[in-house]
Amino acid sequence: MAGEQKKEKLNGAERAAILLMTLGENDAAEVLKHMSPKEVQKLGEAMASMANIPKESVTAVLGDFCDTVDEQTELGIGNEEYLKNVLNSALGEDKASSVIDRILLGRHSKGLDSLKWMEPRAVADMIRLEHPQIIAIVLSYLEQDQAADVLVALPENMRVDIVLRISSLDGIQPSAIHELDDMLEKQFSGNSESIRTSAVGGIKTAANIMNFLDSSIESEIIEKVKEVDEDIGTGIQDLMFVFENLIEVDDRGIQALLREVSAETLILALKGADDAVKEKILKNMSRRAGEMLKDDLEARGPVKLSEVEGGQKEILTVARRMAESGEISLGGKGGDEYV
């Protein structure tokens, strides 16, 4: 029972970290090869932060994994359901999904995966002369924060067209993927792989990318997108999670978020926040901490808008990371789809 209780306190990344650390270096490395850079980073952070893991916690995690394996018959070994069950048990549904895609669908090319390890400006330099549809596909495949940095690094006159194309993507045709593979093959001198249609892109993907842009750039792109297509522009706005949407996060989530944010960042962010957001934050702080924050806000002189936006962006980045790991649930216009 004690082991079960300790296991329940572990999040998905921590359970995966325990499993990998019990596998040994070589086997763990083989598992990591199938993960994206962001997944590797999260697992690496979890492994680095874990120390003196109780024996019962290790036993509980391994027992859960072994129970799943034991339930499978010999006829099940190798089929899709077996792989999904085992990977979901080992990594959690969120992290396992991309691994399952790579193993079962074989739909992601080596070239695209290589882009995830590159600096955004290097990616932009590589694709800036490609057809806008190809650029849209690349940005849809990348992690949203990396895609946002790539978008900013692209020429300004291309951005609106790219966002519109991302919003309009409804799966990717094999011919487009092969065209992309051919381009990347020349860049990396690699071999193209068999690719199937991949369901990436769409308004939600565009909204996620826009979430990571500076407010001034984001507003400019949204307005220009609306000029071309009002419905798409409005749809993107409706799915975005902005700083004011923090009032939709429950009190427990705000308290967890505040523990991850520095006082200086919070002060900068709140200098430009409306009263409702300030009240939400103060309500979830101790009386003394709240009074100190009020004093600091009053004592702080004028702050540049760029600094305020930087503080708000930093807090939103932490909030999205915590939502992805299941630590908090984001409200806002996008609803539960952000969790």
Pick from 59-63, 111-115, 192-196 the range whose average pLDDT is largest.
Answer: 59-63
What's the rounded Cα separation, in Å, for the pair 66 and 273?
50
Q: How confident is the model at residue 12 (pLDDT cuts 50, 70, 90)?
A: confident
Which CATH number is correct for 243-338, 3.10.580.10, 1.10.220.30, 2.30.110.10, 3.40.50.300?
Answer: 1.10.220.30
| 35's tokens | 């993960």
Contact 132, 161 (CB under 8 A): yes
What's the rounded Cα separation, in Å, for the pair 336 and 248?
11
pLDDT in tens, 223-245: 889 899 888 888 887 777 778 88
Lowest mean pLDDT among 89-98, 167-176, 253-262, 280-289: 89-98
CATH number of 110-239: 1.10.220.30
pTM: 0.44
Nearest to 212 by CA among 139, 285, 130: 139
Domain locations along the chain? 2-105, 110-239, 243-338
The DSSP letter of residue 250 is -
Q: Determine phi and psi for 198, rounding to 5 degrees.
A: -120, 130
Q: Determine phi and psi for 57, rounding to 5 degrees.
A: -70, -45
Residue 195, pLDDT > 60, answer no
